[in-house]
Structure 1
Amino acid sequence: MKTLSFAVPCYNSAAYMDKCIESLLACGDDIEIIIVDDGSTKDDTPAKADEWERRYPDIIRAVHQENGGHGQAVNTGLAHATGRYFKVVDSDDWLDERAMAEIMTYLRRQNELEDATDLVIGNYVYEKVAEGARTVMHYRNVFPEGREFGWDEVGHFGQSQYLLMHSVIYRTELLHEMGLQLPKHTFYVDNIFVYVPLPHVKTIYYRDVDMYRYFIGREDQSVNESVMMGRIDQQLRVTRLMIDAVQLPGGVPEKRLERYMENYLSMMMCICSIFLRMIDTDEAEDKREAIWGYLKAQNPDVYRRIRRSALNMGTNLPTELGRKIGITGYRMAQKIFKFN
């Protein structure tokens, strides 16, 4: 069995996908790379994918599909994955060779065991290439380092510390058994990927190495501010799916995990609120009230706690002052955490 399956969603990625794939190949021969061409038509992504498969037939597979969006590309990668572990690497990002050497050493040991660790975590780095700047997102104050542990040993997450798709490597069978499926033609599904499986995770391993390099700064990126406002309906859809997928607190086995997941959901609600207030139309205001009404209807207790949280209390004041407070807070967070 291969140690690790990489899924690489590609949509018109010809200009940058080679760097990504080369960084994965450096991980060794006991990996598989599933290049998912998500209906690319504007460049030679399909031909590049096939050429990579031709050059490395024992490692790389090119899978071509009709355009289904990032989530469907991840679904396709997971459906084809045969490795013990599964990781998604976006085609404009890359992995650090030295960090992955340490991660792969652990994964190889786990591949020999019957009961392998469910979730392996490393740091990720925001690479603002145009500015020559980088921000490391680590978890050394949250997780024990260098040994397996459970949720009962997890410490307190800081305001900027969330598990993102960049930082996680799941045991493949765990994702298969829980039937994880991401929605088609929807951006921001990476939030579902790092939220919904967590109650199924029993064992975790963290390595304090800068594993994933997250390129940020392209104008068409999904995290670009104007793009996010244009795709707010997809952000709202993902948030509703997260509310429905895990019933807090009953669906979560550990108190510390429950607290983390509630804080993550609070962050998602805050993002929805802030961008709707940035749009600043009557329709946007109706949508803001609707998403909060949805949470209240589905889970009144969680609604009350999240609505009163420091993250959301000022954001949702029903005045122009409240709108300005929310947007000001967002601008400050941008400068501190450099997330877009």
Structure 2
Amino acid sequence: MKLLSVAIPCYNSADYMEHAIETLLTGGTELEIIIVDDGSVDDTPQIADKYAAKYPNIIKVIHQENGGHGEAVNTGLTHSTGLYFKVVDSDDWVNEGDLLKVLCTLRELVEDGKSVDLMICNYVYEKPSINKRKIIDYKTALPQNKVFTWNDIMYFKQSQNILMHAAIYRTKLLRDCGLKLPKHTFYVDNIFVYQPLPFVKTMYYLDVNLYRYFIGRDDQSVNEKNMIKRVDQQIRITKIMIDSHDIMTIKDKKLKNYMIKYLCVMMMVSSVYLIKENTEESLKKKQELWEYLEKSNAKLYKKILNKFLGRSMNLPGRTGRKIVELGFKISKKIYGFS
């Protein structure tokens, strides 16, 4: 069995996928690289097959009909043989030295009989177009150099949500919790890191800048214009997350609070882009989303509404919308989003 499986979802990724693959190859034979060619029509299949032929003990390739990012992750998880599982998008990459540290730490934990459910590492927003880089770390939120539980976590800043870039899950946990991402839908990474959380009992935070998250391509899902255009998919993901757990019944208080905070951010993101679209239809969709939350879980609705983000998303009229847009512009400057 491999120590770590890494799935690389690829759709027409010929221009940049080799960088992701080359950085991962540093991990050697303890690493399994699963390239999922999601119905590409460029040279992606040929590049993937070339690497698989050259590194048959490390790389496997799955060719499938186009199903979107979520289905490619599902396929990677299905074919994974590693004890742990991670996703690296084809336009991103990993820091080679930090990858070796991750593998070393995972190996030591396994050998000591302390296999954790979730390892968390830092990630880096890379925006070469403006020569900007921002590291997201968890030093103020998580204990270091020890196995810990939800009871041990500290305060999470708004920038410190555990995103897909930061997460390395135990493969069996993902399978046991029934994780299955929807097809042909963007923003599924939120489900990937959110749905399994109540099943996570033990964690380990390694303070290394493992994941490099490229920001700046016009066709990226996080591009502002694309997020407005695809806001219906953002809403769909948010509803799936609302329905995935009855958060208010979770007994672990710190886990419950973290999940509420995460869902609050999801509600904010959907609301912001609906407000920025600023049509009668989009504002109606925002109202319907909040009504959906209220009908699904009235206690959770009140909890989120009483938080600052919830209140700010529901300020009435033009003034409320202006405040939301101002907050969004500030957050873009802070975090370097496109």
What is the TM-score with the length of structure 1 in the denominator? 0.97
What's the counterpart of residue 16 of structure 2?
Answer: 16
Q: Is the 8 A contact 2:227 2:273 kept in 1?
A: yes
Q: Is the 8 A contact 1:119 1:171 kept in 2?
A: yes
Q: CA deviation at 1:206?
A: 0.3
Other structure's SS at 1:188 match:
coil
Q: Is the 8 A contact 1:124 1:166 kept in 2?
A: yes
What's the counterpart of residue 247 of structure 1?
Answer: 246
What's the counterpart of residue 281 of structure 1?
Answer: 279
State the AA in 2 paired with 1:124. Y
State the AA in 2 paired with 1:255. K
99-108 or 159-168, larger mean C-alpha shift: 99-108
Q: Is the 8 A contact 2:248 2:299 kept in 1?
A: no
Q: CA deviation at 1:339?
A: 3.0
Q: Within 5 A, what are the aligned runs for 1:129-140?
A: 129-140=128-139
Other structure's SS at 2:222 match:
coil
150-159 or 328-337, larger mean C-alpha shift: 328-337
Q: Is the 8 A contact 1:125 1:137 kept in 2?
A: yes
Q: Is the 8 A contact 1:316 1:326 kept in 2?
A: no
Q: Within 5 A, what are the aligned runs for 1:221-260?
A: 221-250=220-249, 252-260=250-258
Find out whether 1:311 has 2:309 as its counterpart. yes
Q: Is the 8 A contact 2:32 2:82 kept in 1?
A: yes
Q: CA deviation at 1:308?
A: 2.4
Q: CA deviation at 1:61?
A: 0.4
State the AA in 1 paired with 2:336. K
State the AA in 2 paired with 1:105. C
Other structure's SS at 1:187 match:
coil
Q: Within 5 A, what are the aligned runs for 1:62-141?
A: 62-112=61-111, 116-141=115-140
Q: Distance in 2 between matches of 1:7 and 1:111?
A: 21
Find out whether 1:335 has 2:333 as its counterpart. yes
Q: Is the 8 A contact 1:53 1:61 kept in 2?
A: yes
Q: Distance in 2 between matches of 1:331 and 1:189?
A: 24
State the AA in 2 paired with 1:13. S
State the AA in 1 paired with 2:324. G
State the AA in 2 paired with 1:258. K
| Unaligned segments of structure 1, at least 5 residues | none
Q: Within 5 A, what are the aligned runs for 1:159-170?
A: 159-170=158-169
What is the TM-score with the length of structure 2 in the denominator? 0.98
Q: Is the 8 A contact 2:28 2:58 kept in 1?
A: no
Q: Is the 8 A contact 1:39 1:64 kept in 2?
A: yes
Q: Is the 8 A contact 1:84 1:111 kept in 2?
A: no
In terms of fraction of residues, the more helix-rich structure is 2
- Write out per-residue CA displacement over residues 203-259 of structure 1, whole angstroms, 9 at most, x where no aligned residue: 000011111000001111000000000000100000000000011121x34111111
Q: Distance in 1 between matches of 2:251 and 2:147?
A: 18
Other structure's SS at 2:302 match:
helix
Q: Distance in 1 between matches of 2:26 and 2:256?
A: 37
Q: Distance in 1 between matches of 2:131 and 2:26?
A: 24
C-alpha spacing 1:333/1:288, structure 2 compared with 1 (3 Å): same
State the AA in 2 paired with 1:46. P
Find out whether 1:265 has 2:263 as its counterpart. yes
Other structure's SS at 1:27 match:
helix
What's the counterpart of residue 142 of structure 1?
Answer: 141
State the AA in 1 paired with 2:29. D
Q: Distance in 2 between matches of 1:131 and 1:143?
A: 31
Q: Distance in 1 between matches of 2:22 and 2:106?
A: 20
Q: Is the 8 A contact 2:9 2:72 kept in 1?
A: yes
What's the counterpart of residue 294 of structure 1?
Answer: 292
Q: Distance in 2 between matches of 1:22 and 1:331?
A: 36
Q: Distance in 1 between matches of 2:321 and 2:144?
A: 41
- Write out per-residue CA displacement over residues 39-93 of structure 1, whole angstroms, 9 at most, x where no aligned residue: 001x100111111100001110010000000000000000000100000000000
Find out whether 1:5 has 2:5 as its counterpart. yes
Q: Distance in 1 between matches of 2:220 and 2:155?
A: 30
What's the counterpart of residue 51 of structure 2?
Answer: 52
| Unaligned segments of structure 2, at least 5 residues | none
State the AA in 1 paired with 2:225. S
Q: CA deviation at 1:155?
A: 0.1
What's the counterpart of residue 36 of structure 2?
Answer: 36
State the AA in 2 paired with 1:72. E
Q: Is the 8 A contact 2:85 2:168 kept in 1?
A: yes
- Write out per-residue CA displacement over residues 251-283 of structure 1, whole angstroms, 9 at most, x where no aligned residue: x34111111110000000001111001111111
Q: Distance in 2 between matches of 1:83 and 1:113?
A: 18
| Residue-pair matches, total | 338
Q: Distance in 1 between matches of 2:245 and 2:87?
A: 22
Other structure's SS at 1:208 match:
strand
Q: CA deviation at 1:115?
A: 5.4
Q: Is the 8 A contact 1:83 1:172 kept in 2?
A: yes
Q: Is the 8 A contact 1:199 1:253 kept in 2?
A: no
Q: Is the 8 A contact 2:118 2:168 kept in 1?
A: yes
Q: Within 5 A, what are the aligned runs for 1:184-199?
A: 184-199=183-198
Q: Is the 8 A contact 2:120 2:205 kept in 1?
A: yes
